[in-house]
Structure 1
Amino acid sequence: MKIFTVVLSLVFVAMPTLAAQVLIVADEFPAMQELARQLKEQEGWESRIVKQTEMPTDLKTFRAVVVYIHGKLLPEPEKAMVNYTHEGGKLVALHHSISSGKRTNALWFEFLGVELPKGEVTQGGYQWTEGVTLDIVNLATNHFVTTHKVRYSASGQFVSPGTAARELPLFTLHDSEVYLNHKLAGERTLLLGLRYKDAKTGREWHQEHAGWIRRSGRGVIYYLMPGHSIRDFQEQAYSRIVINAIVHQPATP
């Protein structure tokens, strides 16, 4: 019995710890802990959550890097994530990865192909508003990211620029945050739109930048706008879309 116990103990000691397949770089953690839990539960993928000051020097070992940074994006992590993507990596940028605080970064907005114009929102200026209810609309009804295991709770009319209204699948987020007037430059695949009614003015906004995919070098960037708090990631449709972006295998360009 003693010999068996010793052998069994050695077996458990020798078992390697599963390496993380996904690196999550964050400065707010409950939402990312929820995402990591769901990714493990639904796909069996392990995640490692770190602050940007704790990023490993070599990102090539990760199948995807998720960035969820609300505050200042430091120059060295910025360069590391840009280089990782250019060299063939998959970067999943969430929510405030595009925010006014990133305007001063040397590489970030050009890398993402986005601009946040200044000025009045009614004249095309960027604006964020929190504590709102908004609909997230599926613009790519045949795409893996927006459809695989995703259950939409409703459908509704969505108007893209220059087109007639379409009836599209959607889900609703409550007590969330909306970003208006992202200006996109360069080719990309649009995945998600937003539909938001301003409670003060009564204006209803329909915009197409709530989710997209963009090539960069030999790699690919996924951007998904929702993610204001853990509550957004507890919405099944949205958490599944984020997971789909992480596990998606894009076609070779």
Structure 2
Amino acid sequence: MRRNPIRVLGAAALTVLAMGACAKQPPPVAPAAGNLPLASPTAAAARTTVPQVAALGVTEVDKLFAEAKLVPILRYHPEVLSGEGTVVGTDPPAGAIVLAGDSVTVLVAGAPGPTLQDYVNAHRETFVGIAADANGVLVVGIHQQADLAREIETLAQLANGSAYRIQTCPRTFTDLQRVQLELARRDFVAGADKLSFAMTVDPLACAVRLTIDMSEPDIAQLTARYQGALVIQKGSVRRGG
């Protein structure tokens, strides 16, 4: 897989789109065809319920949505000042029955915070995430189909003079969340339900990083199945995932 690092500098305010408001939201980025693993028929048929997250913070939303096997798409609403930073609703609404792995729009009051990290976290359909590389330089993973010129201008303002680099990726954070949900079913190899593992979205790798103690043939098979969306690091961890 080819990734293209671009070095930039950056600081300033951002405008995000409000759900149902007049402000403009960057259009969602469609994942490239064939890049995402196909869910099994069983997974496709599984249903779940949209959790009640009104008045909660974004961090709590992520936890509850992971438990519900759903992908939250954040939409900040700068015009809503009451309860800034908390959820004011979802679409579909809480209690709706949907397919596991579906995306649910989460409407958040106010605007994201003023930092580069806040902006990246608030635009999961454009970015993979942000992390420091081995040299301590911040790396921003961005989808290869994003409007790079526009995003570079915004990121440069928010970086406030700090050095960072941009790395283009074939998938977004939202795409990789779906991979995590599939892995969390613990059926990716025989006996996976008894294995201990940890996983995270890694913007440096443009992939989900899975830390697990499993055989080399199983690692090769699983890595091939996810076509670059998964990197596996051998190692023992406490029961998790």
| TM above 0.5 | no
Pick the structure with more helix per residue: 1
Pick the structure with more strand per residue: 1
Instruction: State the TM-score, normalized to the length of structure 1.
Output: 0.27
Instruction: State the TM-score, normalized to the length of structure 2.
Output: 0.28
Q: Greater relative contact order (Cα 8 A, min sep 6): structure 1 or 2?
A: 2
Structure whose CA Rg is larger: 1
